[in-house]
Amino acid sequence: MRRRWLDPRVQEHIAFASLWIVMIVVSLPVVGIMGYMLYRGASALDWQLIADAEEGLLPAIVGTTWLVGLTALIAAPLGVGAAIYLSEYARPGPLLRIIRLAIINLAGVPSVVYGLFGLALFVIMLGFGRCLAAGACTLALLVLPLVISASEEALRQIPAGLREGSLALGASKWQTIRRVVLPNALPGIMTGLILSIARAAGETAPILFTAAFYWLRDPYPNSLFDEIVAMPYQLYVMASEAPGVPIEKKWATAFVLVALVLGLNLVAIVVRARLRRRRW
Amino acid sequence: MKKRVSRVWEWGIERLIQIAGILGIILVILIFFFLLRNSLPILRDFALADLLAGREWRPVREPPRFGMLPLILGSLYVTAGALVISIPLGVATAIFIAEIAPPRAREILKPAVELIAAVPSVVLGFIGLMVVGPWFARSFDDIPVGSFAALGSIMLAFMALPTIVSICEDALYSVPRALVNSSLALGATRWQTITRALLPAARSGLIAACLLGLGRAIGETMTVLMVTGNAAVIPRGLMGFLRPVRTLTATIAAEMGEAAQRSEHFFALFTIGLLLFVITFAVNTIADLIIRRSEKDIA
């Protein structure tokens, strides 16, 4: 028999205590840095800096809003359509297996590779140029796996009894999906969409070569094929390349971006927690 | 009449849904096709061995050199460093959340990990550049500048951590409770149960989690672009972690803006993209196979 160098119960105490210590030691710098960032950002922020139509953050905020709005508009029908197929139509088999593998791989493709793809397809081949539409299309493809898996989960949570009830009343399959399944799954689908908007708002690499500019004479887009400025790209250039940017502006941009992204995520977390408590 | 119209409408809708369903497959093929098409000029003119093992990346010199070895090694250094930090930490966090934490700590930790996952990579790079890097440079004499490989590893570890934690948690939860209970009933302590029953049973899920973390780390762009110093030199030994490096992803992001469209440099950057695509595709597919097999084993 193996020699016990420590009583198992003592061992357990030591192990659990060290795990607690590790959790706390790791959390401290994370909380500290986040807190420092919120502090620096909040103190750098003032109304002038946000609302100034030329030198302030407003152009980037407007640009990012356009970008993510359009992204959601493109990704929603494609993603929800794919999710309806996966949850309502697909039968187990090799095809379904390959579709799932493809979606998993899409989720793992590096964001800068999406940028290359968007550059080759939208900017050059389809001739969009570096613009709002090309960036939104690229971002839509990037968030597509996220929209699909969130929507599919929402659809699968609808009990089979609801579908059967509708079918038994003589409704067709599509009528059942349209009138019974989708309305009930809507909150879950919206949660997924909020999360993908948050993701798209913070992504930089996909819009590097497809949409974003650091400085534009007229930063507010008038059409889908206009050049834009966007928050994450502003932050990147300000932090690493552009000389002479006041440090307050850097912190304020980082703060607004983080507040937007984390705020959207918090909304999604709360909505989802509510949904999980729902009883059928 | 109305009935026929609605039937045609319905037929059309269902075809559209089917197309949306296979959209994922179409997209993977399209991405691969476009990367390959734009890499062909390079793959035709240079030997694969010279590309992958070439020691010099000088895209704008005459004649240009597209040796990717410094970039591949740069990616490996940064990723390996990130995994050394995030795998033990991620597995420990997952065990803690799944088995040890009291409910209240769990309710805080789980969304906290999700929120870390949501922080944009450009913001992590910004924090690395403004706060963490300068702190290291002030505190240690061995580090001349605030941008080096290990700083990229540290920041990337945070990006990979949430992926690892959530997949590990899934793996731990999918172990049948009966297994854990029998171990406890035989008189094992909870810790013995975790290390000798739970972890071995969840083994393949844990491996898959590490692979997915690897895929996430190797493809990360903005953070490494901002904090690793971007010097395309071959890192050497452990000291390499304290010197600037440049990764595959950062090279694309940094140079595509300057490369003239359809120049050799432009195509060479697509070749790097193709390499990244192949690496992440392999890593994700293997991870998926492992997860599938472990699900079958448990069922």
Looking at the structure, do residues B187 and B69 belong to the same domain, yes or no? yes
- Asked if A105 lies within 8 A of B109 by C-beta distance, the reply is no
- Asked if B115 lies within 8 A of A148 by C-beta distance, the reply is no
- Asked if B222 lies within 8 A of A236 by C-beta distance, the reply is yes
Looking at the structure, do residues B37 and B167 belong to the same domain, yes or no? no
Task: Tell me the mean pLDDT in the region A176-185.
Answer: 93
- Overall number of domains in chain B: 2
Task: Tell me the mean pLDDT in the region A2-17.
Answer: 82
Looking at the structure, do residues B115 and B160 belong to the same domain, yes or no? yes
Looking at the structure, do residues B194 and B95 belong to the same domain, yes or no? yes
Q: What is the tens place of the pLDDT at every residue in B158-178?
A: 889 999 999 999 899 989 999
A166 vs A241, which has greater pLDDT?
A: A166
Q: What is the tens place of the pLDDT at every residue in B80-94?
A: 999 999 999 999 999
User: Distance between CA atoms of B133 and A241, rounded to whole angstroms?
Assistant: 17
CATH for B123: 1.10.3720.10
Model confidence at B126: pLDDT above 90: yes
Domains and CATH numbers, chain A: 58-276 (1.10.3720.10)
What is the 3 state secondary structure string of A132-185?
HHHHHHHHHHHHHHHHHHHHHHHHHCCCHHHHHHHHHCCCCHHHHHHHHHHHHH
Looking at the structure, do residues B34 and B56 belong to the same domain, yes or no? no
Q: ipTM of this model?
A: 0.92
A242 vs B52, which has greater pLDDT?
A: B52
Looking at the structure, do residues B130 and B238 belong to the same domain, yes or no? yes
Q: How far is B14 from chain A (nearest CA, A)?
A: 8
Model confidence at A1: pLDDT above 60: no
Average pLDDT, chain A: 90
Q: Which residue of B has its CA nearest to A256?
A: B123
Looking at the structure, do residues B9 and B100 belong to the same domain, yes or no? no
Q: What is the tens place of the pLDDT at every residue in B69-120?
A: 999 999 999 999 999 999 999 999 999 999 998 999 888 888 888 888 899 9
Q: Which residue of A has its CA nearest to B11?
A: A174
Average pLDDT, chain B: 90
Share of chain B above pLDDT 90, in %: 63
Task: Tell me the mean pLDDT in the region A46-57.
Answer: 78
Looking at the structure, do residues B252 and B190 belong to the same domain, yes or no? yes
Q: What is the tens place of the pLDDT at every residue in A202-217?
A: 999 999 999 988 888 8
- Asked if A89 lies within 8 A of B191 by C-beta distance, the reply is no
- Asked if B221 lies within 8 A of A205 by C-beta distance, the reply is yes
Looking at the structure, do residues B22 and B7 belong to the same domain, yes or no? yes
Q: Which two tokens stand for residue A268?
A: 């999604």
Enclosing domain of residue B66 = 48-298
Task: Tell me the mean pLDDT in the region A82-88.
Answer: 96
Looking at the structure, do residues B27 and B84 belong to the same domain, yes or no? no
Strand partners, B68: none
- Asked if A208 lies within 8 A of B215 by C-beta distance, the reply is no
Q: How far is B204 from chain A (nearest CA, A)?
A: 18
Number of CB atoms found within 10 A of residue B185's CB: 9
- Asked if A11 lies within 8 A of B189 by C-beta distance, the reply is yes
User: Distance between CA atoms of A62 and B29, rounded to whole angstroms?
Assistant: 34
The answer, yes or no, to whether the previous bond of B63 is cis (omega within 30 of 0) is yes
Looking at the structure, do residues B36 and B122 belong to the same domain, yes or no? no
User: Distance between CA atoms of A223 and A59, rounded to whole angstroms?
Assistant: 15
B243 vs A77, which has greater pLDDT?
A: A77
Q: What is the pLDDT of residue B144?
A: 65
Confidence category of residue A55, pLDDT binned at 50, 70, 90: confident
Looking at the structure, do residues B154 and B260 belong to the same domain, yes or no? yes
* Contacts with A233 from chain B: Cβ below 8 Å: 122
Nearest CB partner across the interface for B249, out of A77, A110, A175? A110
Using the structure block, give the residue that is written with the tokens 């109304």: A47
Q: How far is A144 from chain B (nearest CA, A)?
A: 9
Task: Tell me the mean pLDDT in the region A265-276.
Answer: 85
